[in-house]
Amino acid sequence: MGFYFGGARAGSSSATRTQFVLTHLKHISHRQHLSRAAHTGTMQLEGSNSWHVPAVLLALVGLLVPSSSFQHHRYEDMVRALFTVQNECPYITRIYSIGRSVEGRHLYVLEISDNPGIHEALEPEFKYVGNMHGNEVLGRELLIKLSQFLCEEYRARNPRIVRLIHDTRIHILPSMNPDGYEVAARQGPEFNGYLVGRGNAREIDLNRNFPDLNAYMYYYEKTNGPNHHLPLPDNWEHQVEPETLAVIKWMQNYNFVLSANLHGGAVVANYPFDKSKDPRIRGRTTYAATPDDKLFKELARTYSYAHSWMHHGWNCGDFFTEGITNGASWYSLSKGMQDFNYLHTNCFEITLELSCDKFPPASALRKEWLANREALVSYLEQVHHGIKGMVYDENNNPISNAEISVVGINHDVTSGVDGDYFRLLLSGTHTVTASAYGYLPFTSTITVGPAEAIQLDFYLKTAPKPNPKVKPHNNKRNLSSPKLPSKLGPR
């Protein structure tokens, strides 16, 4: 009996398998990547009990399934596919787990970077998340294929891909809901129900499972409260599913700048807010704009127009102008992931609905990959727009958690632990202020172009200590721990 890899039995056709392996061995001798794999020796799986697999063995395993094949990947197949990519491009990849699902499956992330495992100052962090709804499978397959594509093109020295990997730290989570996927996959594409496998093993919709920060935001708008990094409600960790908890911790541990969440069931680029502020008007919810509404529209258009047909508007029986929509104006939802990204972290996320069929047949995957390939790369490149820089004190020490505010945009971002910040902006002239506790704020005006991000560093001077003889004003409001009205209890 042959080993089972990638959906095909390696022992099923000896002659075919032998010819396939010999062909790829010839290819390997050209590229010399087997010797590189042998040089690495072993790999360690992070986020679980440590175990090691000889890299040469994994290289040979990878030969049994051509990377250009298009097929659906069950959980074990997906894991093998990710480790094959890691083995073929060991110097630019790392696999880690952010946690486990209800049924104990790892939520594996493939990191692609010229220095995997390390955040480099001024290098932005980007993430793709797929398969949040277990029965919406195209995103899962596209992200596996994207991982293979980036590895192959890097080895082929494609200048665009080489530059992207050298300048970006890319994180790819192909499946946020591996348990739901297995439920849907057991039904098969032909018999899959619209909701079968959508939720996790407890049948919880993970895109309705994040803390509801929109309610806090609308309250803070009225009370001049914080406009970014909204605090989480008490006991929130016990109110979300394991998969949701893992992703929130992931967001908190990495200073992501840009993200996309891949779904299915429609073809449109959806941008925040997802939750409407106003009640329904004649059966429809109203548009809910973020302070970065123009920027989010441009991000959505970037994907839509790079996609083969999304921008045409008419798809799956619905029409969306330019192939984009505000989430709330389409239909309002609470506790969604893209709103949570914007309100709790520095990350800007949109939701990509990529196929009318939630579980398309394997025969459709090649067409879908070709339709999305350029869009996936183009959207990733948007992480390099706007401004970025360092925030220092007078002695050139980096300042973390400094606030970066832009005139006319009521949403700030903060600097990371290394003192670096990233602020996505549209082209134009912007007035930007950096401020931090204990320092005097500093303001600068800068013109941003359509090309790469402009670097703008800030050097903050220590604020003079207050005179102890001067009493503070009694009417100053403490906004560090704002109190919400009782009707906005935990949801």
Catalytic positions: 353
Q: Cα-flanking dihedrals φ and ψ of residue 487, to 5°?
A: -70, -10
- Please, how many CA atoms are within 13 Å of residue 479, restricted to the half-sphere of its CB? 13
**Structure-token pair, residue 308:** 């083969």
- What would you report as the CA-atom Rg of the chain, rounded to the nearest whole angstrom? 24
CA distances from 356 to 60, 189, 233, 360, 374 (A): 37, 13, 36, 8, 20
The neighbour count for residue 224, using CB atoms within 10 Å, is 10
What's the rounded Cα separation, in Å, for the pair 330 and 462?
A: 48
H or E element: which one contains 392?
strand 387-392
H or E element: which one contains 108?
strand 106-112
What's the rounded Cα separation, in Å, for the pair 104 and 200?
A: 12
Residue 19: alpha-carbon gap to chain centroid: 39
SS3 content of the chain, % helix, strand, coil (to 5): 35, 20, 45
SS3 388: strand
Preceding peptide of 273 cis, ω within 30°: yes
| DSSP secondary structure letters along 296-319 | HHHHHHHHHHHSSSGGGSEETTEE
Preceding peptide of 319 cis, ω within 30°: no
Residue 476: alpha-carbon gap to chain centroid: 39
Yes or no: say if 404 and 414 are a contact pair by the CB < 8 Å rule.
yes
Dihedral sign, Cα of residue 348, residue 353, residue 358, residue 363: negative
Amino acid residing at 249: K
Yes or no: say if 292 and 300 are a contact pair by the CB < 8 Å rule.
no
